[in-house]
Homo-oligomer: A and B are copies of this chain.
């Protein structure tokens, strides 16, 4: 699994930071979180193939998170796409997508855009993918906002071919029984327990994406034991009051959520334009007091899980 952060500025772009958008690439599929203006440019710049998009997950309906949808859909259409595109987001997203694809006249796209509107309090599974599922929890912003988590399915432990060979476990159904957790007795009377030849179950990888939001239970829930938490960190301590009023998060608050939820890694993003430049160091320092290994995102950042 690889994360590519496309844009890291809040509200308005700067010379170095574009608007919100992040992709998660896994086994031939690319999942896009948010689609601010310029997302399709970032995808080209970062060499992310658009033909592998099947799902776009929108957090909320502010322009800096959705104004790139019209252009992206139009370009997908020009690229002769034929299979459906699923867009998930808070109620109202269908009206936006319909307007953008239907202006100035209704247009027949070469592929289907299936919009899945979620209620503001939606909590649960958004969809089941191949080998993973996407979960959602409500966030706490000035308009309804939804956080997401991509959760890969756990996989059974690896089968130790060499050890099985040594113990004389024959090929065939007997190996399947061991993988499924059964103890077996071989023809020569040898008892083989699953743990002799099967490693520990492999935990599915996970990524949580929480913006825009004030510190809230939804973020904490999505971030629980997650491999990577991507959380907004719009302000430094100096603007904690403003963060509160505008339903955003300081980096210290976001780091606290990452820490309390037991997130393994934490990527901070969605910075106020006032931190475009050296001032970002102050933000970073404040976050590190709580979560020492945090990553301050920049446009184009790639993180492997």
Contacts and interface: CB of A to CB of B under 8 A. Distances in A.
* Residue among A78, A79, A96, A103 having the largest count of chain B Cβ atoms under 10 Å: A103
A279 interface: no
A19 B44 CA distance: 13
Question: Interface size for chain A: under 10, 10 to 19, 20 to 34, or 35 or more residues?
Answer: 20 to 34
A15 B78 contact: no
Which 9 A-B pairs have CB atoms at the shortest separation, nearest pair first? A61-B104, A37-B71, A12-B75, A92-B104, A38-B38, A67-B71, A12-B78, A67-B70, A63-B74
A11 interface: yes
A75 B13 contact: yes
Contacts of A166: none
A212 to B, nearest CB: 13
Interface in A18-45: 18-19, 37-38, 40-41, 44-45
A40 B37 contact: yes
A68 interface: yes
A13 B103 contact: no
* Residue among A61, A74, A104 having the largest count of chain B Cβ atoms under 10 Å: A104
A74 B38 contact: no
A143 interface: yes
A171 to B, nearest CB: 51
